Amino acid sequence: MNAAGTMRIVRTVNELQAIVNPKQRNGRTVGFVPTMGFLHEGHLTLVEHARRDHDIVVMSIFVNPAQFGPGEDYEAYPRNEQRDADLASAAGVDYLFIPSVEEMYPNKSTIRILPGEQATRLCGASRPGHFDGVLKVLLKLFNIIDPDESYFGMKDAQQLAIIETFVRDFNLRTVISRVPTVRETDGLAKSSRNVRLTEQERSEASAIYKALSLGKKSYYDGVPLQEVEKIIRTAIEKDTSGTIDYVTALAYPSLDENFSEAEEVIIAAAVKFTSTRLIDNIIMSTIKDEKND
């Protein structure tokens, strides 16, 4: 923990950089958990991993406008700073970075980061520019904090794959740590957007993970991946009133269809309900006796 033994909220880049400057760390390591706030158990599990592994834990809360496209839910994205601060403090965060948009983006930027082919699949196919914005803010945060290790949930598997590739290809110092998806008791992946489901939609939403689990079983039973996609799609259409955005099987983390050399395969789905869109996935080993989730 920090010197005071309690969490400190930081709002400016200069202040945070002064705190986590490597010269000030005295050999202590930093674990970093980037979030957009409205914290839930999934975020707190990331903190738990960072707290276990590192001397200093930094969490950021920043609803990043650069990753929201036209007509998306930037203004409607749930926010509750006091609640988040209480949860972060209780979880063991040392420094909670909550910058304003003006603090993070003080100047109009003409330089873009383009994530490449990985961003054209899954969520990226219907959200052009989204992952450009994700990498933009993460590069800034990685440079500001210089974390030894950064923690990401596997629910956002496409984002995780792109970030891993980005860090590898640009020789960034931080290590990316995968943390398994945290789920409700009925299997629904925990998400800040779940609060926007109607009562009926919430009861239906668990069908997404059940359909993916059926797809996983089918894959390990020898069903071809194209047929696995159809099985998942049929189950979601049968058990929910949502509209399927995609159901896809891809090699992971390359996110292409070159399955012959892949050690892992992802089956992923996105379903649109009235006021929100839910995503979920299962990553499977291509070695059939390693039936991982």
What residues are annotated to the active site? 43
Please tell me whether 191 is known to bind a ligand: yes
* Tally of CB atoms within 10 A around 72: 14
Please tell me whether 43 is known to bind a ligand: yes
Please tell me whether 159 is known to bind a ligand: yes
Please tell me whether 67 is known to bind a ligand: yes
Please tell me whether 284 is known to bind a ligand: no
Please tell me whether 130 is known to bind a ligand: no
Sign of the C-alpha dihedral, residues 255, 135, 78, 184?
Answer: positive
Sign of the C-alpha dihedral, residues 263, 216, 231, 252?
Answer: negative
Please tell me whether 17 is known to bind a ligand: no
Report which of 206, 152, 156 is spatially closest to residue 179, judged by C-alpha positions.
152
Q: In angstroms, rounded to a whole number, what is the distance separating the alpha carbons of residues 212 and 228?
A: 9
| Residue 89 three-state SS | helix
Report which of 73, 57, 131, 22 is spatially closest to residue 275, judged by C-alpha positions.
73
Task: Classify residue 68 by burial, with Cβ atoms within 10 Å: 0-12, 13-18, 19+.
Answer: middle
Please tell me whether 39 is known to bind a ligand: yes
Please tell me whether 54 is known to bind a ligand: no
Please tell me whether 13 is known to bind a ligand: no
Q: Hey, which residues does 43 pair with through a beta bridge?
A: none
Binding residues for beta-alanine: 67
Binding residues for ATP: 36-43, 153-156, 182, 190-193
Binding residues for (R)-pantoate: 67, 159
Binding residues: 36-43, 67, 153-156, 159, 182, 190-193
